[in-house]
Structure 1
Amino acid sequence: MKTIRWGILGLGKIAHSFASDVALVEGSEVYAVASRSQEKADRFGATYSASKCYNSYEQLAKDPNVDAVYIATPHVRHHQDTLLCLKHKKAVLCEKPFAMNRSQVEEMITTAQANDTLLMEALWTRFMPHFKFVKEELASGRYGAVKTLTADFCFEADFNPEGRLFNKALGGGSLLDIGIYPIFCALALLGKPDSFEAKAKIGKTGVDEEIEMTFKYNSGTTAFLNSSIVKQTPSTATLVCDNGILVLNSRFHQTDKITSILEGNKIEHDFAYTGKGYYFEIEHFANLLRENQKESPLMSFEFSRQLISMLDEVRTRIDLHYEV
């Protein structure tokens, strides 16, 4: 098995979780890391035994020994950092949201195709066992049609106007950071809505601190979705179907517990995993690279287009615009 040598751009909290899980994946290693601060790069690199620690993203992108790059920079940098790596023929796993808008995503996809290089949006929930189970259960038909999906992702963040969550210049707000998860859940399980409603609370820094969305489907299905960075909720997802109920327990995007109720029988399903939960997307991406694939069948370009388009439409509806 070929060892995939990973490079990591952006060394914040999520990069630590990703790097620690790389060590759990057979045939993957953290080879190079990059930060604008050499001290930060050296410290991060020492923690995860990286061979190279760079103080520029371009240096990492040019390193001939790097096979794949995980992009964990702020949202507003995803587009430019992805293009940089693709133009140096590096396979790119870019953290969600893929970019700030549909046009940026299209350029990323076009660049990947022009360079014959693998590109995938890193929305880890799609690859986790609990989510695969839910998709399979719904596809089995045993639960009947979905009547409602209720999904929330909310937490009370420490207010820092310069931090990434509240700083509009960094693509802050609840929608792009965590509201993307309930939307992803609806799109992946129910498809694109036929109509939707959205309302938001815009905070003093100009970002959406809270957002509520209702997706409506001509089939009669309704999805109630919300996110917030100023209040705490259980962050669960519940599917009420004609014949039963499926509950993705807290926090639904990374849970290892699913509750199913079918024909009066309640079952607790355990999907315990080792590490932070990034293992599954890392393994999937590494296998795609070994197989010389250019696109993921589980997180396809078409799905990423659909997701960013939905985010764009919601932002337009709540009159939230970023300078990009």
Structure 2
Amino acid sequence: MTSQPHKTIKWGILGLGNIAHKFAKDLVTINDAQLQAVASRSIDKANEFGKTYHAIQAYDSYEALAQDPNIDAVYIATPHSFHKEHAMLCLEHGKAVLCEKPFAMNTEEVKNMIALAKAKNVLLMEALWTYFLPHYQFALSELKKETYGKLLKVEADFGFSRPFNTASRLFDKTVGGGSLLDIGIYPIFATLSTLGEPQDIEATCTTFDNGADSTCDMIFKYNDNTEAVLKSSLLEDTPTQCKFTCENAVITLNTQFHAPTTVTINQNGAEQTLDYTGPTIGYNFETLHFNQLLREGKTESDIMTYDFSLKLIKTLDKVRKIIALEYK
């Protein structure tokens, strides 16, 4: 792939649920990016979505979108259990793929996706948007530089209360619904991106009547006595904060830590709060990164690398094994 520094990236969106709306809303704020096409199994839904965000084309077939010669990149926002199928459909047609988190349902599926992307020499990246947000990059930089000494502990939670609804994807175990894959992935991500993979994992969960996990509590332990205490819940509203305790200060990513928010630094009794909120939802940051990779002819992100995505899905698999959570 050759470098094209001024190329307008033409996007397709496959799957038009809530997160697709957020992605599209931020996409239209980006210069040199264009919403070329959208696809849903319902043409009425596709037409309505396309009209809202000024898409040039609307399809009632995912296959038709993948075959559209005008599309450079596809954002996949279908339910978790379809990520592999839809990513590979687009990769087979030479389309760069930005696939929502979790990348797929298990490690084997992720390996298959990466292998195809490499074979086709096409860009593939997991869309874990938090990694690219300015407040999170700030925290990573401070921790890497050990500005406040060594990182000793991570505490992260993500929880909200919703009425149980068997018709909702969020609670549908057959498509990967439940707290772990939907929101537990964020506290796990925060830990892996700062402390790395743990030497030992403790985990417990509660479940709904259909077997989907309603809560998951985890402790990640490391050989140097550092640890991470993590929680996800669909039963209660939790602070949804991420706290990094260092030797000389505590860095807190405030509610909602996975999205643009404020960062508070407590050091020697003094408190400083930095505001990283802005005019967009925040999905534009991962999209800008992806667009630049495409323009430079890159086939893998240097931030959301294949190696990191594999570590993330392997850790999710380990937690699932401990709590005996299986998807069928």
TM-score by length of 1: 0.98
Correspondence 1:94 to 2:105 = no
Given candidates 32, 40, 54, the residue that maps to 1:27 is 32
Paired residue for 2:176, among 171, 178, 183?
A: 171
User: How many aligned positions are there?
Assistant: 323
Name 1:237's counterpart in structure 2. 242
The letter of the residue matching 2:161 is: E
Query: What's 1:193 paired with?
Result: 198
**Rounded Cα–Cα distance in structure 2 between residues aligned with 1:300 and 1:55:** 32
RMSD: 0.8
Aligned equivalent of 1:13: 18
CA contact (8 A) 1:249 1:255 kept: no
Structure 1 ranges of 4+ moved more than 4 A: none
Q: Kindly state the Cα deviation for residue 265 of structure 1 after the two structures are TM-superposed.
A: 2.9
Partner of 2:309: 304
Matched, 1:65 2:65: no
Q: Could you tell me whether the CA contact under 8 Å between 1:248 and 1:258 is conserved in 2?
A: yes
Distance 1:199 1:273 in 2: 37
Tell me whether 298-307 or 261-270 shows the greater mean CA deviation.
261-270
251-260 vs 59-68, which deviates more? 251-260
CA contact (8 A) 1:248 1:255 kept: no
CA distance in 1, matches of 2:283, 2:237: 24
What amino acid maps onto 2:205 in structure 1? A
- Residue 88 of structure 2 corresponds to 83
Q: Report what 2:156 is aligned to.
A: 151
Partner of 1:108: 113
**Where in structure 2 are the equivalents of 1:42-53 lying within 5 Å?**
42-53=47-58
Does residue 134 (structure 1) correspond to residue 119 (structure 2)? The answer is no
User: For each residue in 1:177-216, what CA deviation from the matched residue of structure 2 results, as whole angstroms up to 9, or x when unmatched?
Assistant: 0000000000001100111100000110111100000000
Q: Deviations over 1:230-288 (max 9, x none)?
A: 11111001111111100000011013200012344311111122211101000000000
Q: How far, CA to CA, are the matches of 2:262 and 2:66 in structure 1? A: 39
Secondary structure, aligned partner of 2:12 = strand
Question: Structure 2 length normalisation: TM-score?
Answer: 0.97
Deviations 1:267-320 (A, max 9, x none): 111112221110100000000001000000000000000000000000010001
Question: What's the CA shift for 1:83?
Answer: 0.3
| Structure 2 segments unaligned to the other structure (5+ residues) | 1-5
Shift, 1:101, TM fit: 0.2
Instruction: For residue 225 of structure 1, report the CA deviation from its aligned partner.
Output: 0.2
**2:122 is equivalent to residue 117 of structure 1:** yes
